[in-house]
């Protein structure tokens, strides 16, 4: 199992991450599509070859093809949107926020899966990428759709844990042996 491989690869100093990986993914209460779509989108967002290599096969096995593609699509579109909207938020000149973006974002309107699932995946990726404006927007859509705070929090926990595991494993891969 890929999850066990990732946990085994973590050094002793990251024991908390091992435990968290097991709980936020291995013992999640999220429906399979929400869980594994979040895991896949977050694994892609980390840009970690190690994490993606270990988690992608299990995500693919647990997702229908359209959900698998949509989760990757959420990671892709948020890679662009999180940079764009975070920049608008951080710029002192708020006039940029009134300008037309002119960037294609069609997948958001037609992701090929339940809109709530796509929003959850986009929310989790936005947490990794640190876009407050995107986090607020996606959280608002989720809450308006009736999604409980516990579900939103579960996605954040997955994002935080997968990102932390990626940071540790990628750093360890660069250290001299």
pLDDT in tens, 85-108: 999 999 999 999 999 999 999 999
pTM for this model (two decimals): 0.95
For residue 164, give Cα distances in angstroms to 12, 59, 99, 149, 159: 14, 19, 35, 22, 8
pLDDT digit string, tens, across residues 52-91 = 999 999 999 999 999 999 999 999 999 999 999 999 999 9
* Residue 165 banded pLDDT, cuts 50, 70, 90: very high
pLDDT for 177: 79
pLDDT for 103: 92
pLDDT for 1: 56
pLDDT digit string, tens, across residues 15-48 = 999 999 999 999 999 999 999 999 999 999 999 9
The conformation of residue 43, written as its DSSP 8-state character, comes to H
Q: DSSP H helical segments within 10-131, as ranges?
A: 15-21, 32-46, 49-62, 65-90, 106-109, 115-129
Q: Which residues are catalytic?
A: 131, 134
């Amino acid at each position: 199992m890929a999850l066990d491989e990732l946990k085994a690869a973590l050094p002793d100093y990251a024991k908390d991450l091992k435990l968290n990986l097991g709980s936020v993914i291995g013992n999640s209460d999220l429906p399979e599509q929400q869980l594994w779509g979040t895991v896949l989108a977050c694994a892609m967002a980390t840009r970690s070859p190690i994490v993606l290599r270990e988690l992608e096969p299990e995500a693919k096995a647990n997702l229908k093809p359209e959900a698998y593609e949509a989760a990757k699509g959420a990671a892709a579109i948020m890679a662009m949107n999180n940079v764009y909207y975070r920049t608008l938020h951080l710029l002192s000149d708020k006039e940029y926020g009134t300008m037309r973006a002119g960037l294609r974002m069609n997948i958001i309107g037609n992701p090929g899966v339940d809109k709530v699932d796509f929003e959850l995946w986009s929310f989790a990726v936005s947490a990794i990428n640190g876009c407050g404006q995107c986090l607020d927007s996606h959280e608002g859509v989720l809450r308006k759709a009736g999604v409980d705070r516990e579900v939103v929090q579960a996605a954040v926990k997955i994002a935080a844990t997968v990102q932390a595991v990626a940071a540790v494993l990628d750093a360890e891969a660069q250290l001299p042996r």
